[in-house]
Copies of this chain bind each other. A is one copy, B any other.
Amino acid sequence: MKTIPLILMGCGGVGSHLLQHIVSSRSLHSSQGLCLRVVGIGDSKSLVVVDDLLNKGFDDSFLLELCRLKHGGESLSKLGDLGQCQVFVHPESEGKILEIASQLGKKTGLAFVDCTASSDTIVVLKQVVDLGCCVVMANKKPLTSTMGDFEKLLTYPRRIRHESTVGAGLPVISSLNRIISSGDPVNRIIGSLSGTLGYVMSEVEDGKPLSQVVRAAKSLGYTEPDPRDDLGGMDVARKALILARILGRRINMDSIQIESLYPKEMGPDVMTDDDFLSCGLLLLDKDIQERVEKAASNGNVLRYVCVIEGPRCEVGIQELPKNSALGRLRGSDNVLEVYTRCYSNQPLVIQGAGAGNDTTAAGVLADIVDIQDLFP
């Protein structure tokens, strides 16, 4: 039986689903000779560490109880009451993580799993990489920080997995890495990597006003609490930057041309989200409607996409053929089209749900299983 000890940072939505997936896949993994041993779990305030670090992981009942507590809005520090663990609070928790990484990194290997959405993990991630740990990320921030941080994290590329940073669990990163390692040159990537903006663009295509579509998307739970977080394009730009860097482009966020669907005058520092939803948005309807009609008159549709081609890395609205994979996209699915030497006339297309805690956590778990050959 091969054992992978894990420390999980972030046990809210994605992290909590990951723990549940680990528990429910226990017998499957066991039949494949694999045991995932969760030895530490952290949130922004605390870290709980299993008592017998070298030999044990948390019980499944403990992990499920933790998910229940976090779901109820409780803090990890409550878990001390359950026994079998020690609780460390910030800032002692950082030191404890490094102590564990240094201890297990050499002896048994350790996978450090980042399911937060925070930049706060970057410092510790770079340190655990130095200590020989593997890193699995759903968190986009560490890979979209400076080029120096990116290269540091990728010092040992085989030890880093981050499928769920782009398109949730969709096999985007793994497929792209396969193409790259086979020497097939990637000429162009174009993708719709935001379920929210995919939904918005396919709805306005049907003639609905942007304001109405965004409000509907918000009430369906498709958007962030402030929809401008989606409409500004920053989340898509982060994914584009990760893809571009995987392709070898040494660029930063400020090299990416980002088209926001709202102007600066409607930004969060100028008007409240309520004002934006009730007034600001209405002023944007006419322009989008005209663009949709102009595209339609060319037999095309509008999609909010990222485009990576040569030195170009852009995020914004593009007019695309109606009968392409992107043009046919409806609803909140993500789509990626990859053009290479092998996929030159017709692209390689990967499509499916690109958001949600369940599928994001599934992508993280597949990454963890995939690094097993690095463990003794």
Contacts of A342 in B (CB 8 A): 169, 353, 356, 358-359, 362
Contacts of A331 in B (CB 8 A): 346
**Most central of A157, A183, A346 by chain B CB within 10 Å:** A183
CB closest chain-B residue, reference A343: B352
**Known contacts A175-B174, A175-B175: A182-B363 contact under CB 8 Å:** yes
Question: Does A325 lie at the interface of the complex (its beta carbon under 8 Å from any beta carbon of B)?
Answer: yes
Contacts of A374 in B (CB 8 A): 373
CB closest chain-B residue, reference A20: B183
Instruction: Give the interface segment out of A24-32, A251-259, A296-304.
Output: A24-32
CB distance from A247 to the nearest CB of B (A): 12
**Known contacts A181-B369, A374-B373: A352-B362 contact under CB 8 Å:** no
Contacts of A25 in B (CB 8 A): 181-183
CB distance from A254 to the nearest CB of B (A): 27
CB distance from A202 to the nearest CB of B (A): 13
Give bound CA distance, A237 to B298, whole Å. 43
Question: Does A101 lie at the interface of the complex (its beta carbon under 8 Å from any beta carbon of B)?
Answer: no
**Most central of A32, A169, A179, A371 by chain B CB within 10 Å:** A169
Contacts of A350 in B (CB 8 A): 171, 348-351
> Do A352 and B359 have beta carbons less than 8 Å apart?
no
CB distance from A192 to the nearest CB of B (A): 13
> Do A349 and B346 have beta carbons less than 8 Å apart?
no
> Do B183 and A21 have beta carbons less than 8 Å apart?
yes
Contacts of A175 in B (CB 8 A): 171, 174-175
> Do B352 and A32 have beta carbons less than 8 Å apart?
no
**Known contacts A342-B169, A352-B349: A21-B366 contact under CB 8 Å:** no
Question: Does A232 lie at the interface of the complex (its beta carbon under 8 Å from any beta carbon of B)?
Answer: no
Give bound CA distance, A328 to B93, whole Å. 53
> Do A346 and B333 have beta carbons less than 8 Å apart?
yes
Question: Does A170 lie at the interface of the complex (its beta carbon under 8 Å from any beta carbon of B)?
Answer: yes
Question: Does A269 lie at the interface of the complex (its beta carbon under 8 Å from any beta carbon of B)?
Answer: no
> Do B183 and A178 have beta carbons less than 8 Å apart?
no
List 17 additional contacts besides A169-B342, A181-B370, A351-B351; criterion CB under 8 Å. Answer: A25-B181, A28-B181, A32-B157, A169-B178, A170-B348, A171-B174, A171-B350, A174-B178, A178-B370, A181-B366, A182-B362, A182-B369, A342-B358, A348-B350, A349-B349, A350-B351, A371-B373
The 4 closest A-B pairs by CB, nearest first: A25-B183, A373-B373, A348-B352, A178-B366
Q: Could you pull out 10 A-B pairs where Cβ atoms are within 8 angstroms? A: A163-B178, A169-B184, A171-B348, A181-B369, A182-B369, A184-B359, A184-B362, A325-B351, A349-B350, A349-B351
